[in-house]
Chains A and B, each alone.
Chain A
């Protein structure tokens, strides 16, 4: 019992056969092969799976694939413009905002949404915004630094 879902992912129209229970993250990773979006938990609490749906950050493990019908989805793979990194990607690189890299796609997608809403977030605002994104490696220190720099670069 599958149905067809059609949506735009990273600017390309795609459609796929999915089960009613298929999650958006499964559609992205397992059907479309976009493995940059990660799964770190089964209770929607780690944020490794954050993507943008219609311009807003969203945990792709909290949405059914069928709910994404007609949506415009951007994943970590869709951020860079050719070889030119998105300013937030660049900021994570320059500020050592990642170690193992597993939380990183979700962190970056989440951070971009923050920077769109708040062009110059304070340390406290960044830390509160990241409440839904876990990182076990960095202790957040350099992630906070990266996001501050990235937000400034995005809004420069």
Chain B
């Protein structure tokens, strides 16, 4: 292993600009003559918009324009598109309501835009927005996920009866019912996977600049995939031709899913810039982010596990209501379906599984993918259910998992829920987690806590996820309306250095470093001579962007494919230079050599020859033969469409200490063992896992997107109410790896970005329930706040 190749801990090259204050985030982008947009947003969860009087606002200082839904309609703009269609069990398509970029006639959640004020300064736009007079006729709202399908509740959409967007079924219902019929024990849990608000620390932002002389639009926006934004906003909303639409996502301050989507505000800036002929900028205030960034999770689930007399799983039956919010966000239908129920086998051999998911509309902010997206919900359900079953049948939580693990020799393993797991050794990861966490020493630590008046508990979870979506053809059959490949271009410059263009997008993941490590390793070019370019449709040929932990396994594989093409072409040039046959040329360590000789030429020389082709195969003069003549240049492009998902897995152990007098829970130790296949840069992988685990601890203990059930006001709409994990809420995370290379991509890698968030919530809750087991507490909803823990203790054992 070289110091900068695959597997090396290379310090990140992108750090320099960030630690020096020289990052270039969207709000740092300014265009000459730009004006500022400020949105007027609905204070009602559900209301008819009777009229909007913009006169006073339009006359205010600095105001350039005040635009409303009527202007959107008059200009013929399209609605925000949905990228995935789901079919209900009865064969009917999901209900897909229109979603205009500014509300027309009716608002359906607090924070929905009803007008936009555009003015010379931010403050002028904000001041004038106060003068827009909107006459609302408030309507009753439905907020509760649970109640949304009941008779007689308010309806968000007329054609979505009982507020149901779709009612989806998956798996084998008959086989599952049979399994339950012959079970010796059935365990049932009722779970809430609460609404979360993603909260990347950089608020969303966009700047649009339209050149009327060329018809070209440039949009800078906080996106995880600028090509997707260009396609979706250009074709569906703005009718801005793709070849005259450049989208740039420069430095982006965290995404976690929430920056995948083509948001209305970005479209509004483009539309206003085109209409007004000046650049238009908008940056969310945090309160706006809370109301308008796509939220995550929000499931209510009943899950049942059928077991035989030996604690082996026979069947799993799950019924979930998934809240979509008021409109369907771009990938919302995918999250509680194919990213959820396909994970129900977990690491186990459960032979029969059936899932039913009702997706519902409510008068709340739309919900979409948030770090993990469907897989944390699946894992929380399964790992809580298994712990509850273990307790009921009197088997140790470690043993019950081991009894049901898919054996290492059983791969490839076809689960009953569609996925074909390629590889794994689940017992090995668990062994390592138990060892690193000193599981055996827990009892002594428990006693020590007890002596200090604290309750100590230990919990495990053994999560799996599917990352690197997905074979496009299969995704298409399942409802995807887009491809899921990634693209790469490797361009040698004449002087031998290399520019790599990738359709992935780094917003913290360190691609500039790890992708350069891959290219340096594959092509033998010094690491410092390689530059990675991402995030600009004007420079990068094509891309799907970064989501679902796919950058390395899909984007990195495209880079490997492009590097293979470079070598293939390089061999032809080298063969000419070395006067040998192409078949006799071997490539290694950056050199093309004639087999069995000491004749060789470096790839930098080959690149120079390719661009200064003075010593190049001559044309023969025969047009047929010359059709295949060697072209100048060393610049190759590749697309990689995955052969399958890949399946990272892990084993997590959490230890908590609960103060029974206050209910305060402290995570005392957290151990995460992950198997993400081969590792390019271990430092970056561990960083991803640590960050993910803390986001999961946030869900387990702190975070909750809470609405007032009557008014639909978001009660946890600021950092004062939405409790983000802070440094003093969490411990250091002990992370380590086992390495089982993935056989389905050339790097042998799997995704690592979401594992921590997926695996940690059930480990934390299992640990708290273990701590409280002396009180007979069997259930606790997330977030396990001090108040909830204290109440659980009191309710389980009323004061004597």
Contact = CB atoms under 8 A, between A and B. Distances in A.
B509 interface: yes
Contacts of A99: 254, 508-510, 687-688, 691
Interface in A22-48: 29-30, 34-43, 45-46, 48
Contact of B123 (A21, A39, A48, A133): A21
A141 B254 CA distance: 17
Interface of A is mostly: loop
B726 interface: yes
Contacts of A89: 19-20
B508 A93 contact: no
Contacts of A21: 123
A100 B690 contact: no
B800 interface: no
B372 to A, nearest CB: 14
A143 B22 CA distance: 19
B20 A101 contact: no
A35 B252 CA distance: 14
B20 A36 contact: yes
Given A19-B123, A46-B201, A142-B690, A100 B727 contact: no
B59 interface: no
Contacts of B17: 101
Contact of B727 (A19, A46, A85, A140): A140
B309 to A, nearest CB: 42
Given A40-B286, A98-B19, A101-B14, A139 B25 contact: no
B727 A133 contact: yes
Contacts of A40: 201-203, 286
A135 B732 contact: no
Contacts of A127: 727-728
Contacts of A36: 20-23
B670 to A, nearest CB: 10
Contact of B19 (A46, A85, A136, A138): A85
Contacts of B256: 136
Contacts of B691: 99, 136-139
Interface in B7-22: 11-12, 14-22
A139 to B, nearest CB: 3
Contacts of B25: 35, 38, 102
Interface centre among A19, A41, A46, by most chain B C-beta atoms within 10 angstroms, is A41
A131 B695 CA distance: 16
Interface in B459-501: none
Interface stretch (B330-338, B391-399, B716-724): B716-724
B285 interface: yes
A69 interface: no
Contacts of A138: 687, 690-691, 694
Interface string B23-51: 10101100000000000000000000000
A127 B18 CA distance: 22
A136 B201 contact: yes
Contacts of A80: 20
A144 to B, nearest CB: 7
A98 B724 CA distance: 18
Contacts of B123: 19, 21
A137 B126 CA distance: 31
B33 to A, nearest CB: 15
Contacts of A135: 201, 727
B19 A93 contact: yes
Interface residues of A, number: 56
Interface string B256-291: 100000000000000000000000000001110000
Contacts of B730: 139-140
B692 A139 contact: yes
**Interface size bracket, B side:** 35 or more
A90 to B, nearest CB: 8
Contacts of B199: 136
B387 to A, nearest CB: 24
A48 B283 CA distance: 15
A40 B287 CA distance: 10
A104 B287 contact: no
Interface in A44-97: 45-46, 48, 75-77, 79-80, 85, 89, 92-94, 96
Contacts of B509: 99
A134 interface: yes
Interface string A98-114: 11111111001000000
Contacts of A76: 19-21
A79 B16 CA distance: 13
B428 interface: no
Contacts of B286: 40-43, 46
A149 interface: no
Contacts of B202: 38, 40, 100, 102
A127 B725 CA distance: 11
B252 A100 contact: yes
B719 A77 contact: no
B718 A140 contact: no
Contact of B684 (A96, A139, A144): A96
Nearest to A142: B687
A103 to B, nearest CB: 5
B297 interface: no
Contact of A100 (B508, B693, B756): B508
A13 B634 CA distance: 51
B694 A139 contact: yes
B15 A92 contact: yes
B401 to A, nearest CB: 25
A54 B181 CA distance: 74
A144 B732 contact: yes
A139 B21 contact: no
Contacts of B253: 38, 100-103
Interface centre among B12, B21, B693, by most chain A C-beta atoms within 10 angstroms, is B21
A111 to B, nearest CB: 11
A126 interface: yes
Contacts of A108: 19
B736 interface: no
Nearest to A125: B728
A127 B732 CA distance: 10
B630 interface: no
A136 B724 contact: yes
B254 A104 contact: no
Nearest to A19: B123
A133 to B, nearest CB: 7
B11 A77 contact: no
Contacts of A134: 201, 719, 724, 726
Interface centre among A21, A40, A124, A137, by most chain B C-beta atoms within 10 angstroms, is A137
B32 to A, nearest CB: 14
A136 B20 contact: no
A16 interface: no
Contacts of A105: 18-19, 21
Interface string B503-514: 000011110000
B11 A42 contact: no
20 contacts: A35-B23, A38-B201, A39-B27, A40-B203, A41-B286, A76-B20, A79-B20, A80-B20, A94-B11, A99-B687, A100-B201, A100-B507, A101-B508, A102-B23, A105-B18, A127-B728, A136-B695, A139-B725, A140-B727, A141-B687
Interface of A: 19, 21, 29-30, 34-43, 45-46, 48, 75-77, 79-80, 85, 89, 92-94, 96, 98-105, 108, 123-124, 126-128, 130-131, 133-144
* 6 closest A-B pairs by CB: A36-B21, A102-B253, A101-B18, A139-B694, A100-B508, A99-B508
Interface of B: 11-12, 14-23, 25, 27-28, 122-123, 199-203, 251-254, 256, 285-287, 507-510, 683-684, 687-688, 690-695, 718-720, 724-728, 730, 732-733, 756
Given A41-B286, A42-B286, 19 more contacts: A19-B123, A35-B21, A45-B719, A48-B201, A92-B15, A99-B691, A100-B200, A100-B251, A103-B201, A104-B19, A127-B728, A128-B727, A134-B719, A136-B200, A139-B691, A140-B727, A141-B733, A142-B687, A144-B732
